[in-house]
Amino acid sequence: MLSNIKKKDLFIYLGVLAFALIAPNVFSDYRIQFTFWLVLIILAITWNIQGGEMGYNTFGNIMFFGVGMYVCSGIQIGLFFDLAEWTVSGGEKTFVHTPDQYFQGLWIGLLAAAIIPAIIALVIGYGVLGLRGHYFAICTLGIGIASGEVAGGIELIGAGQGMTAPPWPKDIGGTEYRNEFFYYLTLALFVMTFVFIKWLYSTRFRLVLNAIRDNEDKAEAMGIETMRYKITGWVISAFFVGLAGGLVGNIVGYIEPVEVAFDGREMGVFMVLMCILGGKGTLWGPVIGASVFHIFKESFWSFFLGWQYVALGVLIIVIVVYLPEGIMGFLREKKPEWFGEVMDEEDRKAQVTLD
Amino acid sequence: MDLLIFEHPILIVQALMDGVLLGILFALIAYGMALQWGVMNIINIAQGELVIMGGYVAYFLYMYGIHPAYGVIVSPIVMYFVGIGIYKLVINKVVDKDLFTSILATFGISILMMQLMNFVFGADVVVAQSNFGTTMLFDNSVTLPNSKIFASAVSVLAAIVLVLYMKKSKLGRAIRATAQNARAAKILGVDTEKVYASTFGINAALCGVAGALIAITFTLHPYVGLPYTVRSFMIVIVAGLGNLPGVALSGMGLGVFEEFADYLLGTEFRIAAVFLLLVLILVYRRFKLARSREYLK
């Protein structure tokens, strides 16, 4: 696989990796922001599998995020203590994880946080992915919100009050060390996700997804078992989004159904927005979109104190109306040679636009 | 699971009546959604927010000591212009794009309106007292607030007025022509841009009526708009576009379903039940419509 990467690209990858390794240590006050930046990129590139490559605009990937969060923390606690008592007590004082218990719980929890959302995607995929177009969009919107409402009614996981994730064992290092640990864990997940999806896009799989996006009936008529590919794509997204959710639950430390876990108004919209902002259906688009969006959000959100959602609403409308092809689409139109497209100048001048 | 409702059959009557009265209101909102879906081919996620904003107009009157029932007249007028404004600012740019663009754009509008209402009216649950009293039926065992009866009567009236308007007036005819074939209508001299704007305005006005009625009968909160959108979407896909009796019937069915879900599962699962029903209906519809597909091995 390495041999396929061109020299110029390798340079970019090494640069990004070096930045990701060094920058959080230079700007150590912003380590949490860097962590969330990576999480947003993971959410955007996994959303792109559905929204960009396959043409299935889902609002429901947030469900995998929330399920991953609850599953990871639930297992971290449930392995060693009584989950019901934990949520009732608010996770205070009486229950303390030893470092060994904490890390055992974390690894098992993360594993489950990846597998259980993937299984859910597999089970509901057959029913839900058969819907087309806006029916799919609204159905997944319903799924995302329903899961938050259901989680808000289950007493075991703290109902509407939410529950705390296991606190970091203080014996092995303070909050600084904790942030550093979770940053590198998120970075590892990001690299894993990116490499996997880059590999995936170099296979026939991406061509099939694009065929589904362009004309599903035709793809089917050509003998492609579209449903199998659609479900596989969703399972892959669910796997990585669930992992990201499990990590975020631990980073935030407090899991609440509507505002944190199944936050359709924030994360659920962000992933769609970032992907469209960067450019749907490209590998780098979501990465760029997530980065631009995160920088915008972190630098301006504090100016809009209390007005964040108003700004978000305006941002959605502006992006959807004026930048539907995203940054990558804009660049592609202006600088086609960057994308390896050869343009004949004579030919382009000879083109006549009809109005 | 709470089975109290089956131990006391009178509660079933109560739930049925509440559900039907509630459902008529839902049907009114759904009718507006069907109208703009059919004419402009957009799905408006901000439908619920238009309803809630209409409700706050009535609540605004109530705060200044005017009886909130007058909101039924004031609110649609205000909301008509709000609707036209939204159309001019945003919707006219997405109306000929693909459906997902309009879904996302109206989603943005919905977040925006939600937050603006939160600023203006605060995040508390409010209710506009109508003091209409209650009607007791069956030896005082079934209570019906008069405000609910008033609400369904007004809803039916609004629907009748709208149907007549669509049948008789010139604009109504233009709207129906545009719904059938926008290009042909344009060629024959219909100003489709104006038709779209008025359709969106009429829909917003309908939402205004429904919102004012909700302010009287139920409660208002800036963030409860989305369930109304989903309810009307559900009603429209079950009934189909342009099928008024179907919309009314499925609206009532949904109302009854919600009341029963409320009794059986508990109020905390009420919204969850609505959203799960949406998913179930869509998935059922998909299996019903799917042809039997076979593949070569």
Inform me whether the C-beta atom of residue B108 falls under 8 Å from chain A C-beta atoms. yes
For residue A107, count other CB atoms closer than 10 A to its CB. 11
Question: 3-state DSSP call for residue A77?
Answer: helix
Separation CA B57–CA B78 (nearest Å)? 8
The span from the CA of B30 to the CA of B38, in Å, is 12
Contact B100 A152 (CB under 8 A): no
Asked if A138 and B115 come within 8 Å (Cβ–Cβ), the reply is no
Q: Which among A137, A142, A309 has the least Cβ separation from residue B111?
A: A309
The mean per-residue pLDDT over the stretch A315-342 comes to 80
Does domain B4-291 fall under CATH 1.20.1250? My reply is no
SS3 at position A225? coil
What are all long-range contacts of A299-303, with beta carbons under 8 Å and residues at least 24 apart? none
A-chain residues within 8 Å CB-CB of B293?
Answer: 220
pLDDT of residue A241: 93
Instruction: Kindly report, residue by residue over A193-222, the tens digit of the pLDDT.
Output: 999 998 998 899 999 999 998 888 898 888
The 8-class DSSP code of residue A168 comes to P
B114: which chain A residues are within 8 Å (Cβ-Cβ)?
Answer: 309
Question: How many CB atoms within 10 Å of residue A61?
Answer: 28
pTM to 2 decimal places? 0.86
- pLDDT level of residue A12 (50, 70, 90 thresholds): confident
A269–B111: do the CB atoms touch at under 8 Å? yes
Q: List pLDDT tens digits, range A137-163.
A: 888 988 988 888 888 888 777 777 778
- With bands split at pLDDT 50, 70 and 90, how would you rate the model's confidence at A17? confident
CB of A249 closer than 8 Å to CB of A143: no
Q: Does the CB of B33 have a partner CB in chain A at under 8 Å?
A: no
Which residue shows structure tokens 């999806």? A197
Put simply, whether A305 touches B (Cβ < 8 Å) is: no
- The conformational region for residue A188 under phi > 0 = left, psi -120 to 50 = alpha, else beta, is alpha
Distance CA A137, CA A148 (A): 17
CB B148 within 8 A of CB B18: yes
Q: pLDDT for B171-215, tens place per residue?
A: 999 988 888 888 898 899 888 888 999 999 999 999 999 999 988
